A = this chain, B = another copy of it.
Amino acid sequence: MSEPVIDAPACDTAITLAFSVLGKRWNGMILGVLGNGKTSFVGLRKAVTGISDTVLSERLVELSDTGLVRREVAEGPPVTVSYELTTAGAELVPTIAELGQWAKRNLARP
């Protein structure tokens, strides 16, 4: 008698939804950095090591559209633009911290 294929239920829709944002390179790090507080574009670019200006811009637009990040313009001179988490984004911070704790325990450092 042949072994049956071991089927699995389709990936949970909520998990799929979560990783439509977090499974995109840099997003977790951007949200993690903003979890420490409001930051300028340059501050973010420095804190998220390796990201380019173009990709950071794209990600910030997407994360704003998703309702996780708020862009704030302060009248100057000079005009300054800063980014911070919305309530929805801030709600993710403790779970991101948990992921970090898990990684520290379980992933070998490169």
Contacts and interface: CB of A to CB of B under 8 A. Distances in A.
Interface of A: 2-3, 5-12, 14-29, 32-34, 36-40, 42-44, 46-49, 66-68, 74, 76-78, 80, 82, 88, 91-92, 95-110
A91 B100 CA distance: 12
Given A23-B23, A104-B17, A9 B29 contact: no
A40 B102 CA distance: 26
A54 to B, nearest CB: 18
Given A46-B7, A76-B3, A19 B29 contact: yes
Contacts of A74: 3
Contacts of A110: 20
